[in-house]
Chain A
Amino acid sequence: DAGVTQSPTHLIKTRGQQVTLRCSPISGHKSVSWYQQVLGQGPQFIFQYYEKEERGRGNFPDRFSARQFPNYSSELNVNALLLGDSALYLCASSLRDRGHYEQYFGPGTRLTVT
């Protein structure tokens, strides 16, 4: 079975630009979460979507937005990029939106902002 897939693998952007990251969950999973992992730290929660609705948002500015499509894939958008947005962005899928359902992570998209 295919796991969580993310695209692109790597991305280099300039300050002020906008970026869109994509995620396809495991087949049958209806929940997608996004995390930011800055080098040397643990992942930080950004968003969770379940059945195309936002179920939760972490402590991130409004420059960060996301959506989930009818096929349960998801996009994360970041506007007005800052140097501090450089990180590994991880997508995770799970069957449901509750914490006891384990999350399966994709390989991530490494974003570098110059």
Chain B
Amino acid sequence: AQSVTQLGSHVSVSEGALVLLRCNYSSSVPPYLFWYVQYPNQGLQLLLKYTSAATLVKGINGFEAEFKKSETSFHLTKPSAHMSDAAEYFCAVSEPGTYKYIFGTGTRLKVLA
């Protein structure tokens, strides 16, 4: 069965510092992986996705993630945090041939001035 674990329900970084949000997955087959961002009182916005092409995926707003099969990880990074990055971030997994996403519990990112 698919599952997603996001380590750290809350992460705080200083403005300009590196952002690292962790996601580990469990899947019986090579999965599709996604990162979404959710701002308060809004829906989810796709940041980036991995669908078995390049293992380093670049997304919007300067975010990127690397698929590491050996570590079953898909961590999200951004070199320099901006105040506008403060939001909740969700990692999701989907298996080829299936129709649903399994989401992690989310990581709330706080950016300190």
| Chain A contacts to B: CB under 8 angstroms | 4, 31, 33, 35, 40-45, 48, 50, 55-56, 58, 90, 92, 97-100, 102-108
Task: Find out whether the CB atom of B103 lies under 8 angstroms from the CB atom of A44.
Answer: yes
Task: Find out whether the CB atom of B43 lies under 8 angstroms from the CB atom of A108.
Answer: yes
**Closest 9 A/B residue pairs (Cβ):** A99-B94, A42-B103, A105-B43, A105-B44, A45-B100, A100-B51, A107-B43, A56-B99, A48-B99
State A44–B4 Cα separation when bound (angstroms).
12
| Chain B contacts to A: CB under 8 angstroms | 4, 32, 34, 36, 42-46, 49, 51, 90, 92, 94-106
Task: Find out whether the CB atom of A99 lies under 8 angstroms from the CB atom of B98.
Answer: yes
Query: Shortest beta-carbon distance, B94 to chain A, in Å?
Result: 3
Query: Shortest beta-carbon distance, B104 to chain A, in Å?
Result: 5
- Chain A residues with Cβ under 8 A from B49's Cβ? 102
User: Given A42-B90, A45-B101, does the pair A99, B43 have CB atoms closer than 8 Å?
Assistant: no
Task: Find out whether the CB atom of A99 lies under 8 angstroms from the CB atom of B103.
Answer: no
Task: Find out whether the CB atom of A4 lies under 8 angstroms from the CB atom of B100.
Answer: no
Residue of B nearest to A58 (CB): B100
User: Given A90-B43, A90-B44, A107-B42, does the pair A98, B101 have CB atoms closer than 8 Å?
Assistant: no
Residue of A nearest to B45 (CB): A105
Query: Shortest beta-carbon distance, A91 to chain B, in Å?
Result: 8
- Chain A residues with Cβ under 8 A from B51's Cβ? 100
Task: Find out whether the CB atom of A42 lies under 8 angstroms from the CB atom of B105.
Answer: yes
From A31, A41, A50, A103, B101 is in contact (CB under 8 Å) with A103
From A35, A42, A100, B104 is in contact (CB under 8 Å) with A42
User: Given A4-B43, A100-B94, does the pair A41, B99 have CB atoms closer than 8 Å?
Assistant: no
- Chain A residues with Cβ under 8 A from B103's Cβ? 35, 42-44
State A42–B36 Cα separation when bound (angstroms).
11
Query: Shortest beta-carbon distance, A23 to chain B, in Å?
Result: 11
